[in-house]
Amino acid sequence: MIKKAGEIALDYFNRRDELIVETKTDPQDVVSIADQNVEKIIRNLTRDKFPNDGYLGEEHGQEKGTNDYLWVIDPIDGTACFLTGMYAWCISIALMKGNKIVAGFVYDPNKDELFSALTGNGTHLNNQVIQTQDITSVTQGVMGVGTSHRIPPSELLPFLDQLLSAGGMFIRNGSCALMMSYVASGRLIGYYEPHINPWDCLAGIILINEAGGWSSPFLANDGLNKGNPILSSASGIASDLQKMTGLA
């Protein structure tokens, strides 16, 4: 299902000059017809197999089901990159049962990389088991970070100061879900964003946790509806990053 959606999203990407683009409240936050249509396709493909499930998507809001299952969908995470021809975008889908994330899928159509995790079954990249890095210091790799204009710069800058002062380094590629997948696969050592929406990070949380890493309690205090900070990392540096961010 996610690969089928990825094929369609990639076709839109290759024809991106033809797309209708709209701006949301934040001028940096844009949406295209590709985002809207890919989410509709994911909902329709999922609904055919699971007609009683609910949905929460970035573009089409919440649709309640008749059971405890909820699909949380970001049809194109990294829309700004998508629209400008950069490859840092992906499709992110998480499945919740009640208040638990039970499955997560992140698909990068450009590289044909599918990151997947099920509760108790580990994390896989194209059917190969992956794990977070086995490290004890932020100097042993690169940290992913994200931000938006929903929060003031003062929310992020103290963390960057502490990370750099400790000898660490960071990148920001424009896609939370993709960077969290890289944490799960050991390419990055962690990911931090002072405020994020659930469709951006829920799949990444289970990917990282099932790969042996650690994540802050994003769903606490109604994070599913209001969003929250997210901090995820290799377990060996979790305590250091918690001190830098104040998250536990």
96 plus 171 within the same structural domain = no
Percent of the chain with pLDDT over 90: 81
* Chosen domain end from 105, 129, 153: 129
pLDDT at 238: 98
76 is in an annotated binding site: yes
Q: Tally the domains of the chain.
A: 2
Calculate the CA dihedral of residues 59, 170, 193, 245 and round it to 10 degrees.
170
123 plus 156 within the same structural domain = no
29 is in an annotated binding site: no
What SS3 class is residue 136? Answer: coil
| Residue 148 pLDDT exceeds 80 | yes
199 plus 117 within the same structural domain = no
114 plus 172 within the same structural domain = no
pLDDT at 33: 78
Picking from 180, 184, 182, 177, the residue whose alpha carbon sits closest to that of residue 131 is 184
What's the whole-model pTM score? 0.94
pLDDT at 35: 83
26 is in an annotated binding site: no
59 plus 161 within the same structural domain = no
pLDDT at 73: 96
Starting from the edge strand earliest in sequence, which strands make up the sheet with 128-130, in order?
Answer: 61-63, 54-57, 69-77, 90-97, 100-108, 113-118, 123-125, 128-130
* Chosen domain end from 83, 106, 129: 129
Range of the domain at 107: 2-129
22 is in an annotated binding site: no
pLDDT tens readout for residues 16-55: 887 666 555 554 455 577 888 899 999 999 998 999 999 9
CA distances from 216 to 36, 95, 121, 194, 233 (A): 30, 18, 20, 12, 9
Q: Rounded to an integer, what distance in angstroms lies between the CA atom of residue 39 and that of residue 46?
A: 11
CATH number at residue 29: 3.30.540.10
18 is in an annotated binding site: no
Q: Please report where in the chains the tokens 């940096």 appear, as a residue.
A: 28
Strand pairing class (190-196; 142-145): parallel
